[in-house]
Amino acid sequence: MKMHGLGNDFVVLDGRVRAPALSVARIRAIADRHRGLGFDQLAVIGSGDGTDAHLTFYNADGSESAACGNATRCIARYLMAETGKATLVLSTARGRLAAVDAGGGLTSVNMGPPQIDWAEIPLSEAMDTLELPIEGGPTATGMGNPHCTFFVEDAEAVPLEQFGARYEHHPLFPARTNVQVASLIAPDHLRMRVWERGVGVTLASGSSSCAVAVAAARRGLTGRRVRIDLDGGTLEVDWRADGVWMTGETAHVASGVLTPDFLKANA
């Protein structure tokens, strides 16, 4: 299936009956927007052990990611339609995530508590994660994957292609990092743009939005509930006692089958 959350797009494989055979080369081939299908992340739905389903995520470069918030919302919406349930529990490498039908076509997912200790994110050495010793003093946050958030005067003015590539591989982040630039519009409103680890510039990112909301609240720029405007649309993020909840729209674009010729050529 092809799905997206605010233009953050995914190929979703339903592996509940038979797990798909995936190599790094095959993932990259499917990700190719000219010779494959194209995606920011690939997600595989598996059978859950005591949950409604288990989700596994891969970036466009073939690397695995423990978290993908918008894909989780998309799949949750699909499974709600399939089962008639209004609430689900999904297991991921990040842990068990609750999903709720928020009404009006919106889907909410609890992405779990943020990781703000240096070793959990992880960083390469012990330090205060609120303001890293990097030009611009960004904040580091873990949401099952690492994030580096720069608060700037004007997010639109940052050359994100160069900026994101530069910091994704910063030596403070041994597992690389997602990079965000965010501007404060109001105490409950942020403008954000994102460079995703292993992908590049994307129209939206759920885990990045959660990380930015947490970083802004920690720095006293906002409260714990904010509206975040991304290139592809708007997400609502609410950092509650039980975790970081994210709410927004999803879309199921198409369903199809990868041909035997394509699979054979990209084993």
Question: Per-residue pLDDT tens for 21-65?
Answer: 999 999 999 999 999 999 999 999 999 989 999 999 999 999 999
Listing DSSP states for 47-104 in one string gives --SSSSEEEEEEETTS-EES--HHHHHHHHHHHHHHH--SEEEEEETTEEEEEEEEET
* pLDDT score for 250: 97
Q: Cα(225)–Cα(211) distance, rounded to whole angstroms? A: 12
For the chain, domains (ranges, CATH) are 2-111+250-265 (3.10.310.10), 139-241 (3.10.310.10)
| Amino acid found at 25 | A
Q: Two tokens at 238?
A: 């609410």
Q: How confident is the model at residue 165 (pLDDT cuts 50, 70, 90)?
A: very high
Q: Give Dmax (Cα) for the chain.
A: 55
Q: Two tokens at 156?
A: 């639109």
Rounded to the nearest integer, the mean pLDDT of the chain is: 97
* pLDDT score for 56: 97
DSSP H or E stretch at residue 226: strand 225-230
| Placement of tokens 């494989």 in the chain | 13
* Each residue's pLDDT tens digit, 99-134: 999 999 999 999 999 999 999 999 999 999 999 999
* pLDDT score for 190: 98
* pLDDT score for 246: 98
* Each residue's pLDDT tens digit, 186-223: 999 999 999 999 999 999 999 999 999 999 999 999 99
* pLDDT score for 265: 97
Q: Cα(177)–Cα(150) distance, rounded to whole angstroms? A: 13
Q: Cα(161)–Cα(153) distance, rounded to whole angstroms? A: 18
pLDDT-above-70 percentage for the chain: 100
- Could you say which DSSP state residue 79 is in? H
Q: Cα(99)–Cα(113) distance, rounded to whole angstroms? A: 15
Listing DSSP states for 111-139 in one string gives --PPB-STTTTT-SS---TTS-SSTT--E
